[in-house]
Structure 1
Amino acid sequence: MAHEEDDAAKVWDLAEKIGFCMLTTQSGSDLRARPMSAYSERIDNAFYFLTDVASHKDEEIARYPNVCLAFADSKGQKYVSVSGTAEIQNDREKIRDLWATPAKAWWDNADDPSIRILKVTPSFAEYWDSPGTIISYIKMAAAAVSNSRPDMGETAKVEM
């Protein structure tokens, strides 16, 4: 049990550190991904996003609530994929709580009536935490020469 808790904590830690992710939704038979600023709240077991009521995400999520969040720190070689269920909320107090600098690029203030919350409740996650680009390249080169598999750091599949 402790190992699962450690893996879940690692998912939250990496997602919080990276901060931005690609949110993938389903649009009919197609998948759509777009960059979003994530607000991680592990106490709520949720990721929150501010979104606009006029965006197509609302319609996509209403029809297909299963989404994927893909966090990537390519320089640090750290990645997290979170699968979960999304819902759109119009909680004005929560919008004010989440209001931060990235939102100012899209809206004048937290009281803009077009702002909505996209809440994602995770069900499953996977992470990859490598030691960094240079060390990873050295390990891959050494493995190629020795005909072995490189140790590329930690990875785990996690029930959330």
Structure 2
Amino acid sequence: MTTHDDQLETVTKIMRDARIAVLTYVSREGALVSTPMGVQDFEHPGTTWFLTEQSSEKVQALEADPRVNVAYSSDAGWVSLSGTAHVEQNRGKVEDLWDASSGAFMSGSPEDPGNIALRIDGTTAEYWESPGKVTAAVQLAKGLVTDKQPDLGDSGTVQL
């Protein structure tokens, strides 16, 4: 039986293995908008961080409606994290998160007041753990030949 700690471990692994996440939010016009974000390190999947620019339409929309979904995909599987976004003017956090790739996508430096931290407080994470490409291909073929449901890995929803 899969425990809550096992589920959290699975979600954490998938999220850490991803390099890019897709942040979905509600625009000021009410449309769903998705944008790629560079994955930053985190201690617990219930609190994740991104870097962004204060002047972006994304930040303006999140200040009006902070509900978000963040999707992660890696060879380890897929995670859909639902939660709330918080715009933070925390210079120390921006400096902690800043790396070489940050400068490629953002103007200025970590000291630039226009570069801010975006904290996501997750409430739930839906996940699918991949059994690996070869195993998945074998299971799919087996399912086609035998007409049985293929075993494509563990999945579930975990409260964060």
* TM-score (normalised: structure 1): 0.91
Residue 99 (structure 1) aligns with: 98
Structure 1 residues 38-47 or 89-98, which shifts more? 38-47
* TM-score (normalised: structure 2): 0.91
Structure 1 residues 116-125 or 134-143, which shifts more? 134-143
Give the drift of 1:44: 8.4
Conserved? CA contact 2:83–2:121, under 8 Å:
yes
The one-character-per-residue Cα deviations of 1:41-77 (angstroms, maximum 9, x if unpaired) are: 235841101100110111111121110001112xx26
* Aligned pairs, number: 158
Q: Name the CA distance, whole Å, in 2 between partners of 1:46 and 1:156.
A: 19
Which residues of structure 2 form unaligned runs of 5+?
none
Distance 1:90 1:67, change over 3 A: same
Residue 78 (structure 2) aligns with: 79
The residue identity in structure 2 corresponding to 1:12 is: T
Residue 130 (structure 1) aligns with: 130
Structure 1 residues 112-121 or 8-17, which shifts more? 8-17
RMSD over aligned Cα atoms: 1.9
Conserved? CA contact 2:85–2:120, under 8 Å:
yes
| Aligned-pair identity (%) | 28
Residue 70 (structure 2) aligns with: 69
Structure 1 residues 85-94 or 126-135, which shifts more? 126-135
Q: Name the CA distance, whole Å, in 2 between partners of 1:126 and 1:11.
A: 8
Residue 140 (structure 1) aligns with: 140
Distance 1:82 1:43, change over 3 A: closer
Q: Name the CA distance, whole Å, in 1 between partners of 2:20 and 2:146.
A: 38
Give the drift of 1:40: 3.6
Which residues of structure 1 form unaligned runs of 5+?
none
Does 1:54 find its partner at 2:55?
yes
Does 1:15 find its partner at 2:22?
no
